[in-house]
Chains A and B, each alone.
Chain A
Amino acid sequence: MTLLIIEQLLNGLQYGVMLFLLAAGLTLIFGIMGVINLAHGSLYMVGAFAGTWVATETGSFWIGVPAALAAAMLTGFAVEAVVVRRLYARDHLDQVLATFSLILIFNQLIVLIFGRAPIYTALPPAFSESVELIPGLFYPPYRLLIIAVGLLVALGLWGLINFTRIGMLVRAGSTNREMVRALGVDIRLLYTFVFGLGAMLAGLAGFMTGPILAVQVGMGEQILLATFVVVVIGGVGSIKGAFVAGIGLGVIDTCLRAFLPGLLRNLMPASEADALGLGISSMGIYLLMAVVLLIRPKGLFAVEG
């Protein structure tokens, strides 16, 4: 039983860092530019397709990484310059619709370029076999790699935001946008930087999940809603919030699915327990968000502004 719990915690952690990679960019774009970017999932998809294509063509997973990062970042720059820049002064409604249109456009562009069928991503050879972490616990090393990368990125972001000049501007921007503008900072450059950074992280997440998920059209929307839940629970604009909420949600979601039906079966007949367990775990993240927002309407680590 202990082994099972450890394994599920690791699984939750892996899912959590993935959500964090996506949510980190989204929450900054939200917090600093005030833009709701539904197309964030599309950047994740672009990273996955570009990286996978390069990895397959070159035969090396590792060459796929910079390709995914570059493709997502360049797409991010383009999206920012052409569309998002015009949305800063608009209300949420226009932002939702404009970025919703971007989802339609990106999905169909991927169909035009790569076709409709899902594509195959190879695992890096060194990571394909399960390893025995502690006696009796076999675990896929690729998931450990994702966890490690996710934690490194978190550490890097923490350093960037707390100890660099640009990080200071980002912090200032998410607290008080008007003030940064008033200080004469080239706000446009800051915005482009933040958007590119967010896009790059999304692209990294997309490529990293390629070997464990399906790289296919519309893959962004599957994870988009969960990412938004993380951002909102964590508090818009807060990297710390995205980290805590991402990991928390990953672990809670995984453990609910793994243990809830079993626990409920101790309390009630099996069929009812299964139905209830299922219901709660499939609505789990939304339920959690609703509860958090009802207690703290601005999220857990809201940045006051």
Chain B
Amino acid sequence: MTRLIFPALIFLSFLFLPVLADLLGESVLRTMGARIMIYAICAASLNLILGYGGMVSFGHAAFFGIGNYVVGILYHHYASGEPLWGLIPGSNQMLITLPAAMLVAGIAALIIGALSLRTSGVQFIMITLAFAQMLFFLFVSLKTYGGEDGIIVRRTNALFGLNMRDKTTVYYVILGVATLYFLALWRIVNSSFGAMLSGIRQNERRMAAMGISTYRYKLYGFVLAGMSAGLAGALMANMLRFASPDTMHWTKSGEFMIMVILGGVGSFLGPILGSAAFVTLETYLAGWTEHWPLVLGLILLIVVLGTRGGIKGLIDRLLGGRS
């Protein structure tokens, strides 16, 4: 029962964050909260393959960016009234765009994963990076969709007739999606599939010797993670009402890794904490000093060198020490 307290606490703080933001007159808290949740989804999906499955992907932003663009492109065709390739009509319905983003990101993950998972170690890191870079260059040169300027999504996607121009409504939609996502992820990591992934990380040879096709399970994990990153990217496009290639730049992939490590690799709640820490640092450091990259770099360095298991590990140790 006690292990439920922490997730509940996190959920409640996100639930009441907009209220707090209004009370303090710091509405930036609400925007930050929404960004934290979206990045948390993406970081958690990276954590699934990285923390549980041991696959260090340096190209996770590719799927985040694809989800981002699916919303942008569908909106573009919805606004212009011309179907994509003369076949697929555009859409501004969130119930269509979010699943579409997951589907396209999932297909991309299937192709990239099927090829990349033939390698491992450093080579896996580099080949996933290579695929993400290829996609980045592709989108930067797509004139129809604004090239490096990106696509403006004039209105947030519609959902059940809610007033999506209201930022608090959008916030709670994101909270809803994030909650569903983390519940689903909880079931996945605690299923036999999750156990299988962990087993592969700990000893791939043993799993193979047991007659398990490790390649196939790793690929399942990779596709799942890609779909989740696509979902996060689609939410981001809805929140920012903007899609752009910087969402798939290699430094973005680096940021997702930072969030996972900051929070605690392989811990379920770690990515949420890591994402919160990263967004908070980025927001307040940039406001505090123009030399914020220096401070951010030093903090990250200290966290990596000085802590084991990131923030989640620190909290566990603190709580463990008390009881």
Contact = CB atoms under 8 A, between A and B. Distances in A.
Direct contact between A and B in the complex (CB less than 8 angstroms)?
A: yes
B50 interface: yes
A259 B291 CA distance: 44
A98 B257 CA distance: 11
Contacts of B130: 229, 286-287, 289-290
Contact of B297 (A36, A86, A87, A102): A102
A93 B261 contact: yes
A97 interface: yes
B193 interface: no
Contacts of B138: 279, 283
Contacts of B301: 83, 98, 101-102, 105
A36 B293 contact: no
Nearest to A288: B130
A240 interface: no
A83 B138 CA distance: 36
Interface string B256-272: 01101100010000000
Interface residues of A, number: 41
B127 interface: yes
Interface string B193-231: 000000000000000000000000000000000000000
Given A225-B133, A286-B130, A92 B125 contact: yes
A236 B137 contact: no
Contacts of A100: 254, 257-258, 300
Given A97-B257, A97-B300, A298-B123, A279 B129 contact: no
A275 to B, nearest CB: 8
A290 B115 contact: yes
Interface string B98-138: 00000000000000000100111111011101110110011
List the 7 closest pairs (A to B, CB-CB), nearest first: A104-B297, A108-B294, A105-B297, A286-B130, A101-B300, A101-B301, A101-B297
Interface of A: 30, 36, 83, 86-87, 91-94, 96-98, 100-105, 107-109, 111-112, 225, 228-229, 232, 236, 278-279, 282-283, 286-287, 289-290, 293-294, 297-299
Given A92-B125, A286-B133, A290-B131, 16 more contacts: A36-B122, A86-B305, A93-B50, A93-B56, A93-B261, A94-B261, A96-B254, A100-B258, A100-B300, A101-B301, A102-B297, A236-B122, A283-B133, A283-B134, A289-B130, A298-B123
Interface of B: 50, 56, 58, 115, 118-123, 125-127, 129-131, 133-134, 137-138, 141, 250, 254, 257-258, 260-261, 265, 291, 293-294, 296-298, 300-301, 304-305
